[in-house]
Structure 1
Amino acid sequence: MTGFSKGASLPSGVTVDVFAAAFEASPTPMVVTDPRRGDNPVVWANAAFLTLTGYDREELYGYNCRMLQGPHTDAGVLQTMRTALRAGRPFEGELLNYRKDGTPFWNGMTINPVRDEAGEVVYFFSAQADMTDKHGLELALRDANDALEREVGERTADLRSALEQKTALLHEVDHRVKNNLQVISSLMLLKARRTPEGETRDALQAMADRIGALSTAHRMLYSEGDVSRFDFKEFTNDLIADLAAGLDEDRTRIETEIEALALSAAMAAPLALLIHELATNALRHAFPQERQGRVFIEARRCEAGMRLVIQDDGIGMASAPSNAAGFGRTLVEMVVRQLRGTLDWSDAGPGTRIAITIPLTGADAP
């Protein structure tokens, strides 16, 4: 290692030549520069450094290491390195360097100042490593990640398009079902008007009303943005508005207290049929002979799912006339079973109270 100061103390029996031999044999590329000379030239390099760069010693000694720089060497990193060296501070970083034959490689380097006994920087010692494979791996990973992101983006776009098509299809189905149900309801009402008064006419009228309730359910689903769910509060209020449209509010009225619930679209039709049947039954039978009263509908979350209560302050079940041909109670019990719920009829004193508990599972659970 020609040119090194021998001022530093060494272990007994160890000479600078021993260190020089060790550094020369090291597989780590090493280079030493002398800042006391003009342009801080290379004064020593080991065999590993020669192998890394492709230069001979004669081509390196006396020249600055900038010969390894090229068109794509990062100017920002160079400036940081130069600032550190001018201040006599260590530097650690990676640079894109070029071998003698012009081949680029990523050079990972640590540069440390070597000081004499007076504290002056007499050399800079740098250990280096070829980081090209690491950068190649990082580039490959980045390309793979970019490709994966593109694929995910394309798949997401495909899924979004498929979902939009499904949503449009379901909306169209709800719209057509609603229209068909309205037609059927209208035909049944027309038939009822042409039928003499009696049980047959009443049955036709009741069935037309029930079909109308189902039509309202599909109309509400058609207006929802999410085809898989619906807002039960808005849904019920809209359904009750249809029922209350023909009422004399000075005599009978419907009041509601509905908690906002997002329910599965599959529950819309049975719930519409259930609420319509119970509310209509109360309005028809709880207030005979121009009796005044109200029907109260309440729906809230409960531990089991949803608690639906329909109560009137009318004459009560015991006083209501029996109807052997009536289908309403049977229909209500069938719908509650379909919803896997429980049903409780009781005397409200005055009036009748029907309490229904409906389990909610998965996304419908409170």
Structure 2
Amino acid sequence: MNIVKSKARWDLKNDRAIAEAVRHARIPLCVSDPNIADNPIVFANDAFMTLTGYTPEEVIGKNCRILQGAGTTPESVNAIRRAIEGQKVETVEILNYRKDGSSFLNALQLGPILDDDGRLIYFFGSQLDISEKREAERKARELAEAELIHRLRNIVNVMAVVIEMTAHEEEDPQALSTTMVERLRALSDAHLRTIGQADEKAIVQTAELITTIVSAYAPKGASQFKLAGDETAIPPHLLSCIALTLHELATNSVKHGALGARDGVIEVAWQTTMTDGDACLSLQWQERNGPSVVKPAQQSGSRIINDLIEAAGGSLELEWHKEGLIARAVLPI
């Protein structure tokens, strides 16, 4: 790109090294001269042109407001004005527009350039298109909110089953109240301990995690589950993934499977294996003596745990046998 000069005092001879660096920088940059009426742009690099779609001749001598449009908020414009008036270095998020009319969310950093005597000679502005980042954050928030709602509904459903099954077991009102409080507290503690307050520096054994979660969901206590596996510490980066997966399987079992049946039992087995030369944790969840199982038409819960496990580099297989669900997960450790 040829640097297009205006009436400003852009001294390329004295500052050639800086000018060349700015010219070829990948970050969009422009310089304006507040000593000329309307503080026009006096320099813009190639990256600025690529981002905005303008040519040098179309921006040199123009105020940066040419990037504003219908969706640009007065708040962001006022924030820029305050930064200029106060001669401060600030970062302002502002909705800007390209020459073709398309918009982008600009994380604009601007600030003053002073000479050796402290006099204001230029303002610089660097532009960063954060549209994709903000969109990704928005989608992540939506997913998190949807998962939270899903989990809250699950907890309520599980509580209803726990209360119903406990009521069938206990005839004495005081014993009924005590048992229900204990089981509901165990359910709450299991969520807080294994998800809400998971300490990634703590060493958690597989048996400990599984026992904490499954015992909280089993309305009839330890008689409803059998565990078998070696002493395996769960890597911190897999703790939340495995905990969420177990919560989802247990929730499903209470609502539709063995944990919601009077004689229902689940068996959880795990072992460390080698897959393609990598150490993996293999986990199997099997339900027995529950209601007849039919593969569900909607699989929101299974989709959640499948996404979690795939994100951790693992795999999940679900088999809906008539006698009970079998889930097999393999996770690299």
Shorter-chain TM-score bucket reads 0.3 to 0.5
In our comparison, the structure showing a higher alpha carbon Rg is 1
Q: Normalising to structure 2: TM-score of the pair?
A: 0.47
Q: Normalising to structure 1: TM-score of the pair?
A: 0.43
